[in-house]
Amino acid sequence: MKIIVVEDEATVARRIVSLTQAVLGTKLTSIVTKQTFYEAKSYIFEHSVDVLLLDLNLNGEDGFELLKLAVSGAFHTIVISAYEERALEAFEYGVVDFLSKPFTRKRLRQAFERIVNTDKASHYLTKYLSVRVKGGLKIVPIEQVMYIKGAGVYVELFLKDGTVELYDKTLERLMVILPAHFVRIHKSYIANFEYVKMLHAENYNKITCEFLSGASVPVSRIRYKEIKDAYDKN
Amino acid sequence: MKHLWSICLLFFVMGKAQSQVANVLQTKQLLWLAGWKFHVGDSLHWSQPAYQYQHWEHLQLNKRLILNKHTGTFWLKTNVQLTGQSLESLVFHYYLFNAACEIYWDGAYIDRNGTIGTDVQSEKTGNYTGMFPIPTTLLTPGTHEISIRVSNYHFPNRSLFGRPNIGTTLRMQQKNNQWVLEHTLITTVLGLTILFCVLLFFGLAKNLSLLCFIGFCVVQMLELLLKFYGVYQNINIGLYNTLLDILQLIKILDGFFLVGYLVLEFQINPLKYWLSGALLISVFNHWWAFDHFSILWLMAGIIVTMAIVQKKYLAFVILIGLIGWGFFAYGYPVWGYFWGLVILMASMIVVSILQIYRRAQQQHQIELRTSRLENQLLKKNIQPHFLMNSLISLQQIIHEDPFKAEDMINELASEFQVFSRVAEKKLIAMKDELKLCRAHLRIMEYRKGASFVLETINITGEERIPPAIFHTLVENGITHGYGLKNQGRFVLEKSLHKKQIVYRLYNDGEISPNQKATQKQLIGSGTGIKYIQARLNESYGKKWQMNYGEVDEGWETKIVLPSK
């Protein structure tokens, strides 16, 4: 796992690095520390990163602007902040976890487990996806998303109003932060079950999922049973 | 009252005999002449005392009747019985005579006001008021006939005259003095009230209710001024009438102002309806020429009653004023209206001032509470995060260097000790402030692995300043200026300029290029700066200044405080 830490206080940065090393052990392939998010950005531009550990002063608008920018990236974001009371808001923007200072080794391990172990991850809190568009960021409310199609390192968000947005995360990473009614129905698709009209199983080879808008996407044969159960429950 | 009494008497007597005596002038009395008879037409013969006029039409006192019915030349007659000392010298006085007239005493011509004519062109109206001495040769005990020859082509639609009266010269002079005195007094009271309210409005409280009060007084004042102008300049009745018409129009507003004052002062809702209602009633009232005062009083009475029912503060004071006004206005015909008005105005001033005082008190309380609250809240907001951030560093330092950790805990303790000691105070000694700053810098050294120094120039340590303002600035300086740098220098300098003390806090922090544009804005909107502003407001009101901005290789904040 490749990690980048953004923390302007040297002592705290050392603390985060040493704890991360202890928690991840051999799973950690690289860890770098940057003092500001802007420095981190240029690093991220040239290197691939799995997780951003972001120390954020969330007191005031600027902190959240930075957060929105961070979560629009391809990597997972874990926020570390002394502003515990802003945690819920941070989750709404799709951070994987929120560590309030000071934190323990155990708490940091839980945060990493959320990333590795997708089953445990769904915490239902994400409300917005921060999408990078030309000239800035666009905040897409998650209930606008009908289904999501994987396209390599990107995904395409198919919205209720018919528009499509590109989002800089893989389907796997996105699944970690999506609420439970978003279900992986195919290796390339995630469906928002609130907008599913019905599942069609015409024959064993062709199963499709039809949305209220009339759009239709394929469903994985292998996962069909599991998906059907989830659909019936929903 | 006296003339009313005479009129009653007249009614009683009229039906009985032919040559009745209409008025009897007692010694030292001022007699409002009554029992007037009138006859359309013109003949000098009618002025003769022997002429029998009891069959003439009785002059209706209801002005409307006479106004519309009689245009042209006509005669008015009444008589007066003289007794005792009143024979020495007599003066005939009248005012507001809307016609040209000639006055005859027992058939002898005495004087005239204007020139009687046969149409609008030939008639010349007279002045507002007139006073004719009656030749002493004509004054004998017994009954005398007073005849007035009138032509009213110019103002057929106006009341014919004010109240003609007769009395000894001495008595007339007394009456005039009294008039002048009362007029001057009331005008002064009104004028001072207006001035007082204007000062109050601009100096203390820009209340709309005060404006209404001023408006009400000004309208009343205008009426007094018109009377003054009419009497002292003795202007032509035509000019007087024009001014009177304008005044009547302006007087529409006094109901609006009075109601406005009450509604605003006692917060009677819905405001708009009351105000437009008052204006509407005043306009109708003007149109139909009802008794202006009664309607005004009634409107005010209704609102004050509502205010009392709604248990509004001090509403009863206005009720007392209103009752006083009504009592005087009806009880004392000539100046009662205005004396009553003085009572009403006094009650209004009392209410206004007490209300302003109460509001100011409440406002003061609110301000005190908010500023206190703000201080506490802001500090509460800052401290825990500082503590949390320090604790996480400690977690690391404990492992790396237990002795350093011990030292850091000491610094933390000392910062919090000073804090808890000074937080409740409005002003603290500079040496305590410096202790706070230094402890903070030490802690930040541990946290950031940096080194910071604080130098002072011209500081004695005994200066009094609001707590934690420089501490907050140091805190801000570190947060924003040492992201990339791990050596820092802070300089606090004091200088005296005339009546001001100027503190400059400089630090050599760097601003990262990415942040630069938004930096100043960011710092200005932060909790720290708000805290400092609240503290400075609390101790110095508006007598302080704070500026901050980039200087050569660093950042400087300048705080200017009054030296006292």
Residue that has been written with the tokens 């980039």 in this structure: B550
Q: Which residues contact B390 (CB under 8 A, 6 or more apart)?
A: B408, B412, B443, B447
B2-169: CATH superfamily: Galactose-binding domain-like (2.60.120.260)
Q: Which domains does chain A have, with CATH numbers?
A: 2-116 (3.40.50.2300), 129-233 (2.40.50.1020)
**Cα–Cα distance measured from residue B210 to residue B345, given in angstroms and rounded to the nearest whole number:** 12
| Chain-chain contact of A82 with B449 (C-beta, under 8 angstroms) | no
Closest Cα in chain A, distance from residue B413 (Å): 18
Q: What is the dihedral of CA A83, A84, A90, A95, to 10 degrees?
A: 110
**Cα–Cα distance measured from residue B388 to residue B214, given in angstroms and rounded to the nearest whole number:** 61
**Cα–Cα distance measured from residue A221 to residue A205, given in angstroms and rounded to the nearest whole number:** 7
Q: Which of A9, A69, A108 to mutate to test the interface with B (most CBs of B within 10 A)?
A: A9
The shortest CB-CB distance from A14 to any of B388, B396, B479 is to B396
Closest Cα in chain A, distance from residue B455 (Å): 23
**Residue, of B255 and A117, whose pLDDT is higher:** B255
For chain B, the domains span 2-169, 204-362, 401-562
Instruction: Give the chain B residue whose CA is nearest to the CA of A57.
Output: B385
Instruction: Tell me what pLDDT residue B41 has.
Output: 86
Residues of B within 8 A of A35 (CB-CB) are 483-484
**Token pair listed for B515:** 């942040």
Instruction: Kindly report, residue by residue over B29-59, the tens digit of the pLDDT.
Output: 788 888 888 888 888 888 888 888 888 888 7
Instruction: Tell me what pLDDT residue A147 has.
Output: 94
The shortest CB-CB distance from A38 to any of B396, B447, B512 is to B512
Instruction: Kindly report, residue by residue over B504-519, the tens digit of the pLDDT.
Output: 999 988 765 555 545 5
**Cα–Cα distance measured from residue A71 to residue A128, given in angstroms and rounded to the nearest whole number:** 10
**Residue, of B246 and A232, whose pLDDT is higher:** B246
Is pLDDT at A207 greater than 50 in this prediction? Answer: yes
- Of A162-171, A194-203, B19-28, B64-73, which one has max mean pLDDT? A162-171
Residues of A within 8 A of B395 (CB-CB) are 15, 102
Q: Which residues contact A190 (CB under 8 A, 6 or more apart)?
A: A147, A148, A155, A171, A174, A175, A178, A182, A183, A184
Provide the residue type at B381 as one letter: N
| Chain-chain contact of A38 with B514 (C-beta, under 8 angstroms) | yes
**CATH number of the B401-562 domain:** 3.30.565.10
**Cα–Cα distance measured from residue B178 to residue A191, given in angstroms and rounded to the nearest whole number:** 99
| Chain-chain contact of A101 with B483 (C-beta, under 8 angstroms) | no
| Chain-chain contact of B483 with A36 (C-beta, under 8 angstroms) | yes
**Cα–Cα distance measured from residue B6 to residue B175, given in angstroms and rounded to the nearest whole number:** 19
With beta carbons less than 8 A apart as the criterion, state whether B236 and B127 touch.
yes
Closest Cα in chain A, distance from residue B484 (Å): 7
Instruction: Tell me what pLDDT residue A148 has.
Output: 94
Is the N-terminal amide bond of A102 cis, ω within 30° of 0? Answer: yes
With beta carbons less than 8 A apart as the criterion, state whether A139 and A68 touch.
yes
Residue that has been written with the tokens 């531009």 in this structure: A45
Instruction: Tell me what pLDDT residue A124 has.
Output: 64
Instruction: Tell me what pLDDT residue B15 has.
Output: 41
Low-confidence spans in chain B with pLDDT less than 50:
1-4, 6-18, 62-65, 67, 517
Give the pLDDT band (50/70/90) at residue A29. very high
Interface residues of A toward B, Cβ cutoff 8 Å, are 8-12, 14-15, 18, 35-36, 38, 57, 59-60, 62, 82-83, 100-103
The shortest CB-CB distance from B449 to any of A10, A36, A101 is to A10
Is pLDDT at A138 greater than 80 in this prediction? Answer: yes
> ipTM surpassing 0.85, yes or no?
no
With beta carbons less than 8 A apart as the criterion, state whether B472 and B562 touch.
no
In the three-class reduction of DSSP (H, G, I as helix; E, B as strand; rest coil), residue A55 is classed as strand
Closest Cα in chain A, distance from residue B439 (Å): 17
Sort strands B57-58 and B37-40 into parallel, antiparallel or unpaired: antiparallel
Residues of A within 8 A of B388 (CB-CB) are 82, 100-102
| Chain-chain contact of A9 with B385 (C-beta, under 8 angstroms) | no
- Burial tier of A26 (Cβ tally within 10 Å: 0-12, 13-18, 19+): exposed
The shortest CB-CB distance from A82 to any of B385, B449, B512 is to B385
Task: Kindly report the three-state secondary structure assignment for every residue of B486-542.
Answer: CEEEEEEEEEEECCEEEEEEEECCCCCHHHHHHHHHHHHCCHHHHHHHHHHHHHHCC
